[in-house]
């Protein structure tokens, strides 16, 4: 009996996988007892496989759609073939930081084309690199902020944030006069006439620090600091471990716990690969100083939208810029200075 079994092994199944389904069915005829146990061993075997298939299932779910439709491409049209081809290539591409210019162009074209195939509309995605001699800085005037939250709305619209979870990068805190910068007692979900008596207002967002802990801790380097100082995320490279979120002391990062939903007519079609292009579920995102605007010379949406002019943005390396004037002439401070991470976002008062 043993010899028989051995023969089966040495003939057909020379690797570990042989311990599964195939053998138990065919060579266990002789043993009546064995048959009864087949049921359980089948379940058992499936479980053994499941652990390995576990990872494959999750990967497969992603590629599955693409793989299946590629195989059925004879039946479905050219469009879906192209779609799955794009999905396939997008899944296997590398980290944006390490891409050559050519690869960057290719991925941008794929994304634009993918959107066109799915929705039927055209978008522009830029992959413009950081300019030399530019280092972005930001200043916030807490005397002038009246708490209107126009900046928050502009940011949400500009950056295609998820409407379902009301994601907003910017928080406006209603602080108490006399209590100073006591954020624990501040309110950021106020809804009454502003400015309210006895309060002043401060806005927080990602401070794009020069020594960002989020960049340090990312296990796959999906987030990094660009040459012009903006801390960006490659949404397709992020694995969603949320370590960066734990590391951020300023609540700068937002996670897509589910697929972001934006009404199609509200989608901002001028996008940047590292900025406001449409994200998927399970990836991190954050304020990018409106990289799609600032690399073209425009102000970020929040700066543009503020009716009181409390927000100031500019190039820290240009001695004639407004931001440099603020740093030289106003009494500026930064939040959580003692953490030593050098934010490029200053606060000042009139």
Partner 1 sequence: MKVLKNLIKDSLVYLTHGRKSYHFWMAFLTFLMLIGMYSYSLQLEQGLSVTGMNDRVSWGLYISNFTFLVGIAAAAVMLVLPAYVLKDFDFQQAVLIGEGLAVAALFMCLAFIIADMGGPARLWHMIPGIGVFNFPNSMLTWDVLVLNGYLFINISIPLYILIMRYQGLTPNPKIYIPGVMISVFWAVSIHLVTAFLYQGLQARPFWNNALLGPRFLASAFAAGPALIILVLAMIRKFTDFKIDDKTIRKIALVVTVAAQINLIMLISELFKEFYAPTHHSESAYYLFFGLHGKAKLVPWIWTAISMNAIATIILLFHKLRNNFTILYFACILLFIGIWIEKGFGLIVPGFIPGPWGKIAEYFPTITEIGVTIGIWAMGAFIFSILARTGIAIELGKIKYKK
Partner 2 sequence: MNVKLNIIFICTFILLISCKHKEDEYHTITDKIEDLGKDFKGIPLSSDKYTETLKKVEVTENWQRFYIPERKSQIKSFECSECHSKPLNEIQGEENIEKSHWDITLKHANQETMNCVTCHSENNMDELHSITDKPIDFNLSHKLCAQCHQNQFKDWSGGAHGKQIGGWAQPRVSQTCVGCHDPHRPAFEKRWPSRYNVHMVDERK
Q: Under the rule (CB under 8 A), what is the footprint of partner 2?
A: 131-135, 139, 141, 144, 146-150, 152-153, 165-166, 168, 172, 188-195, 210-211, 225, 293-294, 296-299, 306-309, 312-327, 329-330, 342-344, 348, 350
- The binder of partner 1 chosen from 123, 194, 196, 245 (CB under 8 A): 245
CB of 135 within 8 A of CB of 317? yes
| 257 binds partner 1, rule: CB under 8 A | yes
Q: Residue 15 has which token pair?
A: 């690797």
Nearer to partner 2, 265 or 329 (CB): 329
| 220 binds partner 1, rule: CB under 8 A | yes
| Strand stretches in 9-141, DSSP E | 124-126, 136-141
Owner of token pair 């950021």:
188
Nearer to partner 1, 45 or 270 (CB): 45
Compute the distance between CA of residue 325 and CA of residue 144 in angstroms, rounded to an integer: 17
**Integer CA distances (angstroms), 131 to 27, 66, 227, 330, in order:** 70, 38, 8, 28
SS (H, E, C) 278-323: CCCCCCEEECCCCHHHHCCCCCCHHHHHCCCCCEEEEECCCCCCHH
CB of 295 within 8 A of CB of 125? no
- The binder of partner 1 chosen from 12, 30, 35, 37 (CB under 8 A): 37
246 binds, among partner 1, partner 2, none (CB under 5 to 8 A by kind): partner 1
316 binds, among partner 2, partner 1, none (CB under 5 to 8 A by kind): partner 2
Q: Tell me which residues in 261-320 interact with partner 1 (CB under 8 A).
A: 281-284
186 φ/ψ angles, rounded to the nearest 5 degrees: -85, 165
Compute the distance between CA of residue 337 and CA of residue 326 in angstroms, rounded to an integer: 18
Nearer to partner 2, 29 or 166 (CB): 166
| 186 binds partner 1, rule: CB under 8 A | yes
- Quote the least distance from Cβ 339 to partner 2, whole Å: 13
183 binds, among partner 1, partner 2, none (CB under 5 to 8 A by kind): partner 1
Nearer to partner 2, 114 or 294 (CB): 294
- Under DSSP, the state recorded for 187 is B
Nearer to partner 1, 61 or 328 (CB): 61
């Amino acid at each position: 009996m043993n010899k028989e079994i051995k023969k089966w092994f040495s003939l057909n199944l020379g690797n570990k996988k042989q311990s599964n389904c195939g053998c138990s069915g065919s060579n266990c005829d002789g043993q009546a007892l064995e048959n009864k146990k087949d049921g359980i061993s089948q379940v058992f075997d499936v479980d053994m496989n499941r652990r390995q298939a576990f990872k494959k299932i999750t990967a497969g779910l992603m590629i599955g759609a693409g793989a299946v439709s590629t195989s059925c491409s004879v039946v479905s049209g050219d469009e879906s073939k192209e779609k799955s081809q794009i999905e396939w290539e997008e899944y296997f591409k590398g980290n944006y930081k390490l891409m050559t210019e050519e690869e960057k162009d290719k991925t941008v074209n794929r994304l634009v084309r993918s959107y066109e195939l799915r929705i039927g509309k055209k978008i522009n995605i830029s992959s413009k690199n950081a300019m030399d001699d530019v280092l972005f800085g930001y200043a916030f005037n807490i005397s002038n902020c009246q708490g209107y939250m126009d900046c928050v709305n502009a940011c949400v619209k500009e950056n295609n944030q998820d409407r379902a979870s009301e994601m907003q990068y910017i928080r406006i805190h209603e602080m108490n006069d006399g209590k100073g910068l006591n954020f624990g007692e501040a309110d950021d979900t106020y809804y009454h006439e502003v400015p309210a008596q006895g309060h002043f207002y401060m806005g927080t967002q990602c401070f794009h620090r020069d020594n960002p802990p989020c960049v340090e801790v990312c296990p796959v380097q999906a987030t990094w600091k660009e040459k012009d100082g903006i801390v960006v995320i490659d949404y397709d490279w992020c694995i969603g471990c949320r370590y960066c979120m734990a590391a951020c002391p300023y609540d700068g990062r937002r996670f897509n716990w589910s697929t972001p939903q934006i009404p199609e007519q509200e989608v901002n079609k001028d996008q940047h690969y590292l900025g406001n292009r449409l994200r998927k579920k399970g990836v991190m995102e954050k304020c990018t100083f409106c990289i799609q605007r600032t690399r073209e010379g425009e102000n970020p949406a929040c700066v543009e939208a503020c009716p009181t002019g409390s927000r100031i943005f500019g190039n820290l390396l240009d001695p004639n810029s407004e931001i440099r004037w603020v740093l030289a002439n106003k009494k500026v401070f930064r939040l959580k200075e003692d953490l030593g991470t050098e934010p490029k976002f200053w606060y000042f008062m009139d």
